[in-house]
Amino acid sequence: MIVSRRRFMRLGIVGGLLVGTGSVVAFVRTRGYVLDPVRAGRLVALSPWHVVVVEHAARRIAAADAPEDANIPSADDTDVAGFVDGYVAKLPADMRRDLLRFLAVLEHVAPLALGLGARFSRLPAADQDRVLTSLEQSSTLLLRAGFEGLKSLVFMGYYRDPRTWTILGYPGPWVNRP
Amino acid sequence: MGESPVTELAVRGRQLHADLVLDTEAVVVGTGAGGSIALRELARAGIDAVALEEGGYHTTADFNQREERMLALLFQEQGGRTTEDLAIRILQGRGVGGSTIHNTNLCKRIPDAILSAWADDFGLGDVRPEVLAPSFARIEADLSVSEIPAADRNANNEVLRLGAERLGWRGGPLKHNRVGCQRSGFCELGCSYDAKQNALKIVLPQAAAAGARIYADVRATRIHVEGGRVTGLEGVVLGENGEHIANARIRAKVVVLAASATGSAALALASGVPDPHDQIGRGLHVHPGAAVAGIFDRTLASYDGIPQSYECTEFLSFERGSDRRVWIVPAFAHPIGAASALPGFGASHMRAMRDYGKLAVLTALVHDETEGRVVLGAGDRPKIRYVMNDADRAQLGKGLVACARILFAAGARDVVIPAVFPHRMREPGELDRLDTGFVRPHELPLTAVHPMGTMRMGTDPKRSVVGPTGEHHHVRGLFVADGSLFPTSIGGPPQIGIYTLALHLAHHIIARARSS
């Protein structure tokens, strides 16, 4: 099955709709997201609401297998969302646009498809996992690709941090190794 | 040659304080394996030659063995390049030295059967094995190619050797271009110890010493053609964040495209180079591949040591119509790469990551028959249309099963094919019942690192873009000297083949530059 990027946007169901249906939807869509103003001022590619969505997704994607273990850093500890913001800023414009649209689908559309009435970022963790799983295994193949792209960015942000390497027993780079 | 040592190899974009305007005899676009050789040979022949590289100029000191930094620095689209349908990740180098910076140094000649087929099917009698052999030998000498000693084989490669030998399957050691290798295992992120005998370390300094000039951060955007001959090109100078900071205008009577199978075709398409038979961009092959992981009861630390030193060729034959078109080699990744490849997310994913040190990973790459196509995308960037055909999918399925058998034979307690719905097996008998229908886009993570084709060489303009000399069929002075030339897939690492073809064709390029 050949599916073009343009078709992805169509298959992104309301994703394109959300982006293009005018100021009212845009106003509602981006309201109610709280981000520290200093942090918001430092953003280069993402808007505050994108950051909130990435943070919530990263907490689930990089969730610990032993939450009680204080030695396992969280996605917040490793500032995954901040990393994603900086990384995405240097992507070609069309790739950056696709990712941001996928975040809109994740936040607003994917929960509805499961019959969940709230935004992704306002769902309890178990429901967020259901939403992410639905994207990972979606029959809409390019939603799977979107999930894989987000997952890669999250893990790049998470496993770049030396504190996570102890989980793996990985000693880290040779360069600058004590 | 009277060559003198070079201290600063390339001019960076930010060092240019005005438009780059040059009047020269030859300009080479791209500085990887093919471009570096073309540039060196032109300069050594006394031709005034410059090279333009879209990526940055990075040195050993920049290669800090950190995935998140090096992916952004050394790869096209920060490592995020994919096929148009987002199903296959395409890893291609960007920067002075091109993909020779991040490859794993594997050195294999283009197989004799492939060269013979090119000669017979595309009229390329000048690339028959016996004709090309001296050029292969010279490149191998230039790059200090040698067989990787058995003592340098790491645990992951030992798993492949042991498993293949126990199954009675054909395999053997690989050759590489390394001197002074520290076996740190970070080849794919650029060598921190300057042990790679690659374009950046060997060939480009030779070119510069012979008088060639190299400009980093300059993206060629249009080739100029007047009256059936090339007259130069134009481009943009990029700042540190990829911003457009100046223009470039290069007058030249020879233009050599060496920007890879994707970049060269995209530039030719964007320039409206004559293409009466709609051939530019066609014939793309990529060697699509996927990985299989084996979990052992002992620590392997597969991230340490030379990543690829052994191959299994039991399922690889280059004869016409062969149904054995799979090359098997080790393919271990550092944590970010491994985390991205393992299926799932959350707690179960982290549990799987705890086995990181006990993993061996093999990959099956298909010597592909599928013909994809490069077309123009946003901003004239290459858009890669490639969807594996059924025959190639079947080959990959066979390859994955073979990888799994090798891992079991070497002692793996579990074998996992990391598809979206992972296949986890405890004993080899399960492979007999495995339905490999999952080998398809978006069901299985697919990666390709060897784009080739798209500006194929041949005598027939109806099915090729350049002639046997590497010169465009319809534009005098426009040459190709990279993997775009390959008329078919080659079933193995292409770097030596690209270096060699560029060397082999160089005298034609030089002759054209010397002509009026």
Mean pLDDT of B68-72: 96
Average pLDDT, stretch B67-94? 96
> What pLDDT sits at residue A13?
38
Residues of B in contact with A132 (CB under 8 A): 345-346
| Share of residues in chain B with pLDDT > 90 (%) | 97
pLDDT in tens, B429-441: 999 999 999 999 8
Confidence of residue B1 (pLDDT cuts 50, 70, 90): very low
- The two tokens of residue B475 are 């534009």
Nearest to B120 by CA among B327, B317, B319: B319
pLDDT score of B516? 61
For chain B, give the longest Cα–Cα distance. 69
**What pLDDT was estimated at residue A25?**
45
Question: What distance in Å separates the CA atoms of residue B3 and residue A119, rounded to the nearest whole number?
Answer: 66
**pLDDT 10s per residue in chain A (178 long)?**
333 444 443 434 333 433 443 344 455 567 778 888 889 999 999 999 999 999 999 999 999 999 999 999 999 999 999 999 999 999 999 999 999 999 999 999 999 999 999 999 999 999 999 999 999 999 998 899 999 999 999 999 999 999 999 999 999 999 977 6
Nearest-Cα distance to chain A for B353, in Å, is 6
* Chain A residues closer than 8 Å to B340 by CB: 148, 151-152, 155-156
Pick from B63, B66, B356: which is nearest to A168 by CB? Answer: B356
pLDDT tens digits, B255-297: 999 999 999 999 999 999 999 999 999 999 999 999 999 999 9
How much is the pLDDT for B175?
98
Q: Which residues pair with B174 in a beta bridge?
A: none
Where would I find the beta strands (DSSP E) of B4-136?
20-23, 26-29, 49-52, 88-90
Indicate the residue of A72, A94, A160 with minimum beta-carbon distance to B66. A160
Q: What type of residue is B281?
A: G
CB contact set of B390 (below 8 Å; sequence gap of 6+)? none
Q: State how far the Cα of B242 lies from the Cα of B235, in Å rounded to an integer.
A: 13
Q: How confident is the model at residue B17 (pLDDT cuts 50, 70, 90)?
A: confident
Could you tell me what percent of chain B has a pLDDT over 70? 98
What is the predicted pLDDT for the residue at B2?
53
B229: amino acid identity, one letter = R
Residues facing residue B257 across a β-bridge: B29, B480
Q: How far apart are CA A32 and CA B241, in angstroms?
A: 33
For residue A14, the model assigns a pLDDT of: 35
The verdict on a CB contact (< 8 Å) between A157 and B68 is: yes
Query: Is the distance from CB of A80 to CB of A158 less than 8 angstroms?
Result: yes
**In which residue are the tokens 């042991």 written?**
B162
Whole-number Å distance between alpha carbons of B9 and B511? 26
Has residue B99 got a pLDDT over 90? yes
SS3 A145: helix
The confidence score (pLDDT) of residue A35 equals 86
* Helix A141-158 / helix B67-74 crossing angle, nearest 10 deg: 120
What is the C-alpha separation between B224 and B427, in angstroms, rounded? 61
Model confidence at B8, pLDDT cuts 50, 70, 90, reads: confident
List helix spans (H) across chain A. 5-11, 14-20, 23-29, 37-42, 48-61, 80-89, 93-104, 110-113, 125-136, 141-158, 162-168
β-bridge pairing B146-147 and B175-176: antiparallel
Q: Which of B243, B350, B384, B388 to mutate to test the interface with A (most CBs of A within 10 A)?
A: B350
* Residue B374, beta-bridge partner list: B384
User: CB within 8 A of A136, min separation 6: which ones?
Assistant: A144, A147, A148, A151, B344, B345, B420
Question: How far is A31 from chain B, CA to nearest CA, in Å?
Answer: 28
Please give the structure tokens belonging to residue A95: 């790739």
Q: What is the pTM of this model?
A: 0.94
Report residue A65 as tokens.
Answer: 């297998």
B6 has pLDDT over 70: no
State the virtual CA torsion across B130, B31, B455, B471 in degrees, nearest 10.
-70
Q: How far is CA B490 from CA B109, B159, B285, B481, in A?
A: 9, 26, 9, 16
Q: What is the pLDDT of residues B111-139, one digit of tens each?
A: 999 999 999 999 999 999 999 999 999 99
Q: Calculate ∠ Cα A60-A90-A157, nearest 5°.
A: 25
Q: What digits encode the pLDDT tens for the residues B362-404?
A: 999 999 999 999 999 999 999 999 999 999 999 999 999 999 9
As a dihedral over the C-alpha atoms of residue B502, residue B60, residue A83, residue A87, rounded to 10 degrees, the angle is -20
B241 vs B380, more confident: B380
Q: Among residues B316, B296, B294, B289, which one has the least CA distance to residue B361?
A: B294
- Residue B115 three-state SS: helix
Q: Which CA distances in Å does B356 have to A151, B34, B331, B333?
A: 18, 37, 13, 10
**What mean pLDDT comes out for the span B194-206?**
98
- CA B347 to chain A, closest CA, distance in angstroms equals 4
The owner of tokens 């990740």 is: B89
Across chain B, mean pLDDT equals 96
Question: How far apart are the CA of A28 and the nearest CA of chain B, in angstroms?
Answer: 30
Beta strand spans in B10-100 (E): 20-23, 26-29, 49-52, 88-90
> What mean pLDDT do residues B55-83 have?
96
- CA nearest to A67 within chain B: B347
**The pair of three-digit structure tokens given for residue A133, joined into one six-digit string:** 């799983």
Report the pLDDT value the prediction gives residue A12, as an integer from 0 to 100: 40
Cβ count within 10 A of residue A85: 21
What single string gives the DSSP state of each residue in B454-489? SS-B-S-TTS-SB-TTSBBSSSBTEEE-SGGG-SS-
Give me the total of CB pairs closer than 8 Å, taking one residue from chain A and one from chain B.
Answer: 136
Q: How far is CA B1 from the centre of its chain?
A: 31
